[in-house]
Structure 1
C-alpha cells in the first residue's frame, strides 16, 4: 500500500505535483511500477487532469470488482472539473460527504442497494439540505458509471425520497434593501444595485468588466447555465456605472472590473461578504427592530427580489427572461416569493 499523502490533497490518486527551480509547478502521473516511472502531464492543471483521466481509464479493470471511489475519482476529473468554479466547490465538498460513507471501507459498485442510500440519508439527517444534494450527486455519478460501462444495474436512488424542505420565502422589501445599503460602504452599495437591477447571481456580477458594456447593453454569459443575455442599460443602470467609474478614477491603477474594493482592486467573494456582513451588523445595532429580517437577508435574495419586482411590473415571463430562465416555471418555483397579486371579491 502506498503512503498516505501529506500535501496536495486536491490531487487524485497517483497524480503528483512538484515545484521546479523556476517556481512553476509541474504535474506527473505515477504508474506505481518498479522501478518507479512517472509520466509528465505538464504545468497546466486542467490539461494535466484531462491527460490523467485518459491514463486512469485504463487503470480500472472491468474484469475485476469495481469500487465506488474509483468511479468518483473519474467523475471528479471528467465532470466536476468542467463545471463553474462555484459549482465545483460545492460538488467537491459533497464528494467528501459521500466518501465518508461509501469509501470507508470502499463500497463495491455492484453491491450498493437502495437501502444503503436510505441509510446515508439517515446518517446525515442533521444536514438535510446537504443530504439531498449529495443524493442528487450520487445519482448523477451512478448514471455516469452506467454510461462508462462499469455497471448495468438500475440507479439505487430510485424510489428513495429525500428530506422535505421548505421553500425559501424571504422577500427583501425596499425598506430593508435601503437600510442595508445606507450602512454599507460604496463598494457594497454599487454591488447591491448592480445585482438587483440585473437580477444576476453574485458570482456573475463580480466578473463583469467595462468590456461587457457595448452599444447601450450589458452583454454577459451566465457561468452556471452558459445562458447569454443582453440587458438594456436603463437610466438606473447608467447611474450605477457612472458612480462606479467616478470612484475608480480616484485610484492610480484603474481596474476594468466594474466592482472593485475600496482600494480599487477587483471585488472577490470574500471582500463582498465582508462588506455585506459589516453593513448588516451596523444596521442591526442601529435598528434592533429589524434584527431578525437582517439576519435572514442573504445577498442571493436580491436575485429573487429582482424577479418578484419585475414580475409585478411586467409579468412572470419578463422575470424569467431577466434571470435567464428558459422555462418560466423555474422562476415561479424558486424565485417568485410574494405570491400572485389578486383582486378582492368586491
Structure 2
C-alpha cells in the first residue's frame, strides 16, 4: 500500500472494481469509480480530505443502491454527524453530492441529487488574529524547523502545505516562486528585506545533509505536515498560546495594512475576498459619533 492514503485508496479502487458487478449500482461501486477517475484530477490536499470524507460516507451508504439514497437519508446522516462534527458533515455532504452528480453523468441513475434541498450547518469563519508577541512566544519554544516554517508562512502569506513544499529551485530571478495547491495560482514573492534574511539563515544553517526543500531537519529530511503539526502544537502548548498555524496566513494579510498588497500576496481573485478575510480578524475601524 502507498504511504499516501488517498493514493492507496485509488489503488484499492482499481483492484476492487473488477470484483463487483457495476450493474448492482451500489454506492460503493460508484465511489470506487469516483476514486479511480476523479481523485487523480484533484490536488494532493483535496484528495487527502476526500479520503477521510469518503471513509465516513461508506460507513452508511456502502451497500445502498445509488437510486435508493433519498434526501431523508442525507438528512439523517447530517444529523448524526452534526452531533460531533458539523463542519466535517458539510464537507462530506458536498462530496456525496459530487459523487451523485457523477453517477448521473455515468448513467448509474437518472434521479435528482438527494443532497439538493438538504440544509447544511452554519459555519463561522475564523476570526483569530495573532499578535506579534504571541507569534514570538511560540517561536521561542519551537524547533528550528517550525521557526523556519512560521517565518516563511508569515512573510509569504501562504498556506502550510504550500510553505512546506518550497524548494531551493523555486528561488529564481530574485523571487520565491509559489504555485498554490488549492487554486493553482502562481506568484513570485520578492526576496528582499526580512525574507532575504530568513532564506539566508536557512541556507547557512549547518546540517549533516541537504535536500532540495527549504524547510528540512538536520538530516536533510523535508518537514512533513504531520511533523509540523506535532512540533507546532508542542511549542504552542509550552508558550500557552492558542492560535493555529493556518492563522498565520491571516496575520500576513492583516499586517500589510494594504488590501491590494494583501490580495496579491494571498493570491485572492478579488479584493472583496481579502477585505472580508482581514475584517473578520481586526474588525471594521469606524469614527465616533462626535
- Distance in 2, matches of 1:219 and 1:163, equals 37
Q: Aligned in 2, Cα 1:9/1:188: closer, same or farther, shift over 3 Å?
A: closer
Query: Of 243, 268, 275, which aligns to 1:325?
Result: 268
Asked whether the 8 Å contact 2:141–2:238 carries over to 1, the reply is yes
Change (3 A) 1:73 1:14: closer
- 1:115 corresponds in structure 2 to 72
The CA distance in 2 between the partners of 1:319 and 1:245, in whole Å, is 27
Q: 3-state SS of the aligned residue for 2:216?
A: coil
Q: 1:277 — aligned with what?
A: 233
Give 5+ residue unaligned stretches, structure 2: 1-6
CA distance in 2, matches of 1:277, 1:264: 22
In structure 1, C-alpha distance between the alignment counterparts of 2:273 and 2:95, rounded to whole Å: 20
Give, in angstroms, the shift of residue 308 of structure 1. Answer: 1.8
Paired residues of 2:26 and 2:65 also in contact (CA < 8 A): yes
SS, match of residue 22 in structure 2 = coil
Q: Superposition RMSD on alpha carbons, in Å? A: 2.2
> Helix, strand or coil: the match of 2:48?
helix
Counterpart-to-counterpart distance in 2, 1:259 and 1:14: 35
Partner in structure 2 of residue 307 of structure 1: 253
Q: For 1:280-291, what aligned pairs fall within 5 Å after superposition?
A: 280-284=236-240
What is the match of residue 26 of structure 2? Answer: 67
**Pair 1:220-2:194 in alignment:** no
Return the alpha-carbon distance in structure 2 between the equivalents of residues 343 and 333 of structure 1: 19
- The answer on whether the counterparts of 2:14 and 2:36 sit within 8 Å (CA) in structure 1 is no
Say if 1:112 and 1:156, in contact at 8 Å, map to a contact too: yes
CA distance in 2, matches of 1:227, 1:343: 37
Residue in 1 that maps onto 2:48: 89
**Highest relative contact order (Cα 8 Å, sep 6+), 1 or 2?**
2
- Taking structure 1 as the reference length, what is the TM-score of the superposition? 0.75
Q: CA deviation at 1:152?
A: 2.3
Tell me how far apart the structure 2 counterparts of residues 212 and 236 of structure 1 sit (CA, whole Å): 18
Distance 1:217 1:13 in 2: 41
Match of 2:111 among 153, 164, 179: 153
- Cα contact 2:13–2:33 (8 A) shared by 1: no
Which is higher, the Rg of structure 1 or of structure 2? 1
Q: What's the offset of the Cα at 1:190? A: 1.5
**Structure 1 position 343 matched with structure 2 position 287:** yes
Q: In 1, Cα distance between the equivalents of 2:47 and 2:204?
A: 35
Contact kept? 2:211, 2:220, Cα under 8 Å: yes
Whole-Å separation in 1 of the counterparts to 2:34 and 2:274: 30
Aligned CA distance change for structure 1 residues 156 and 275 (closer, same or farther; 3 Å): same
Contact 1:261 1:271 in 2 (8 A): no
Gaps of 5+ in 1: 1-7, 17-28, 33-55, 285-293
How far apart in 2 are the matches of 1:236 and 1:314? 18
Q: Do the aligned partners of 1:209 and 1:256 also contact (CA within 8 Å) in 2?
A: yes
Equivalent position of 1:37 in the other structure? none
Rounded Cα–Cα distance in structure 2 between residues aligned with 1:181 and 1:60: 54
Tell me, in whole angstroms, the C-alpha distance in 1 between the residues paired with 2:110 and 2:254: 45
